[in-house]
Structure 1
Amino acid sequence: MSNHEHQESAHKPLQRKEMSRRQFLSYTLGGTTAFMMGGAVLPMVRFAVDPLLEKKTEGTFVKVVEESKITTDPQEFKFQIHQVDGWYVSDPELSAWVSKDANNKIFALSPICKHLGCTIAWNAKGKDEYDCPCHDARYTKDGKNITVAPNPLDEYEVKIENGFVYLGPVKPNSRVG
């Protein structure tokens, strides 16, 4: 670049890039469209995420059996709970093994084996134990694991009210150490 060209380019005013009408309209319409799409999409996102943000409520108790019908031998009782999972509402049937301990305190055990989730039965082999028919897991009357299963049976929260036994949510077994 010669000295003369250098001087001419130094004295030229800088050319500003101006936005054309077409660019202005493109940016304006694009921004407006994005804003409107956000307004349409936001309620859908809220609808999808809302059940995850809901606070979990305390488990409800379900009336299962009259208190007078409970003996020291475990008996299986079936009951239904009303559950809402996101948008899915169902009334599944559950069961529990309910009995009295040596102090006449009523307790209820979950029938779900802690080994692989099979359903256990009481005294199936005549040994006064809970037995899993699938993998031969065995439990004591209190739900303590004897063989195969790594953990004791879960128990239900129990509430006695007006002569009836009510069962609540399942919790880890507190009867065995």
Structure 2
Amino acid sequence: MSEKEHKVSRRQFLTYTLTGVGGFMAAGMLMPMARFAIDPALKAGAASDWVAVCDLSELTEEPQLFPFTFKQEDAWYTSEVTQNAYVMLQGDEVVALSPTCTHLGCQVAFGTNDQHPDRFYCPCHFGMFDKQGINIQGTPPTRPLDAFEVQVEDGKVYLGSIYQRTEGGA
């Protein structure tokens, strides 16, 4: 093969050069966006911090509301956040439920409805959950109250990440 058969024309050279520069610039713009989109998924698997909420000796089979505080980091800003959890004993197991209604996010309270004193009641849309946090059929919530990971060490109850429970509370 001769050298003439392998020559690149000016037009081909310009096409290759502009395609390469355009691809490099597109990659430079897309990489930060891809990193921004993927970053939360990478952090989701990180270990959660455990927060001491109460002593095991304080718990009964009736749900009790316990406030707790933890540090939250949002980008460059660190703040103290206060949340609540209903913590109770169910047999030998410690269960911690979120007080946030799964219908529209209002705060539920235990034992405040005179007609159903043994249930969690949401005053916003009259949602109800039984003592285990399972949604009552015929009321607006379509799934149980969310729960916290629970760990008991040295007589103290620690709460971790919150998670969604499926029907039946598992």
* TM-score between the two structures when normalised by the length of structure 1: 0.67
Q: Would you tell me which structure has more strand in proportion to its own residues? A: 2
- Code of the residue aligned with 2:68 in structure 1: it is F
**1:80, 1:93 within 8 Å by CA — same for their partners in 2?**
yes
Structure 2: 5+ residue runs without aligned partners?
1-28
Name the structure 2 match of 1:162: 154
- Higher gyration radius (CA): 1
2:122 to 122, 132, 135: 132
| Cα distance in 2 for residues equivalent to 1:47 and 1:100 | 43
Name the structure 1 match of 2:169: 176
Give the percent of matched residue pairs that are identical in Structure 1 and Structure 2: 32
Root-mean-square deviation (CA, aligned residues, Å) is 3.7
Name the structure 1 match of 2:16: none
| Cα distance in 2 for residues equivalent to 1:51 and 1:99 | 35
Tell me the matched-pair count: 157
| Cα distance in 2 for residues equivalent to 1:97 and 1:72 | 11
Name the structure 2 match of 1:108: 96
- Code of the residue aligned with 2:169 in structure 1: it is V
* TM-score between the two structures when normalised by the length of structure 2: 0.69
2:87 to 82, 88, 98: 98
Structure 1: 5+ residue runs without aligned partners?
1-40
Name the structure 2 match of 1:6: none
| Cα distance in 2 for residues equivalent to 1:109 and 1:53 | 25
